[in-house]
């Protein structure tokens, strides 16, 4: 899943980016409203974490502008403003959730997971394809009762494949959801990580789940 953090306080932005990346998310960062709007309107994100007090364009205006243009990305407002009327204003502007500073990172992660589950159209924290299962809370991956150890990036890639099981996903789609905006799509990094996944998910099992669709992309097929 790919997240955009729009936050002008450098320390908070760095803390969020580091923590979210450690959880396996691809994270882009903007430090003002104009830059945040440009990224949000030209790149595909699963979630935006949005501060309200931004230079250039404030968070409320940015949120309203995205919604007026039909952008349905999930938006979590993160703000020092804690009055009820300000929370109502943020939610009425189109935000999906509102969290006040100071916050615990555990609560932020829980809200991020909840919003991403809503985006995927369900409430389950567990994915299942054939005999392969993934727990989104504990990050435990099992196949045929055997636990499989994955790196954070391998987990993110497998999660994206499982969410789109039975559907062809292109290299561009994978890059947009699993890597950040600075990712060089001309490298073979995606192929390398898919090879890592195949070695861990498929190599020791007779039925191969990760399929290459020649000329189109990849598919996780049960």
Question: Strand (E) positions, the chain?
Answer: 2-6, 26-30, 47-50, 74-79, 97-100, 126-129, 132-135, 141-143, 146-148, 210-213, 217-220
Q: Which of 119, 154, 178 is the last residue of a domain?
A: 119
Read off the pTM: 0.72
- Residues of the chain short of pLDDT 70, as ranges, are 119-124, 181, 185
pLDDT at res. 174: 87
Q: Are residues 133 and 209 in the same domain?
A: yes
At 173 the pLDDT is 85
Which domain covers residue 204, as residue numbers? 126-220
Please give the tally of structural domains in the chain.
Answer: 2
Confidence at residue 112, expressed as pLDDT on a 0 to 100 scale: 92
């Amino acid at each position: 899943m790919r997240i955009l953090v729009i936050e002008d306080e450098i320390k908070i932005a760095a803390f969020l980016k580091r923590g979210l990346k450690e959880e396996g998310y691809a994270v882009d960062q903007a430090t003002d409203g104009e830059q945040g709007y440009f990224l949000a309107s030209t790149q595909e994100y699963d979630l935006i974490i949005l501060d309200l007090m931004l230079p250039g364009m404030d968070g409320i205006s940015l949120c309203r502008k995205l919604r007026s243009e039909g952008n349905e990305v999930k938006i979590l407002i993160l703000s020092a403003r804690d009055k009820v009327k300000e929370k109502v204003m943020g939610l009425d502007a189109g935000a999906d959730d509102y969290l006040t500073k100071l916050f615990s990172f555990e609560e932020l992660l829980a809200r991020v997971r909840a919003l991403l589950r809503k985006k995927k159209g369900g409430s389950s924290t567990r994915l299942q394809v054939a005999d392969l299962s993934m727990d989104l809370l504990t990050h435990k991956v099992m196949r045929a009762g055997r636990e499989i150890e994955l790196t954070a990036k391998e987990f993110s890639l497998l999660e994206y494949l499982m969410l789109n099981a039975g559907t062809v996903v292109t290299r561009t789609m994978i890059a947009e959801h699993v890597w950040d905006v600075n990712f060089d799509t001309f490298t073979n990094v995606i192929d390398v990580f898919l090879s890592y996944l195949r070695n861990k998910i498929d190599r020791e099992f007779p039925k191969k789940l990760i399929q290459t669709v020649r000329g189109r992309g990849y598919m996780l097929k049960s």
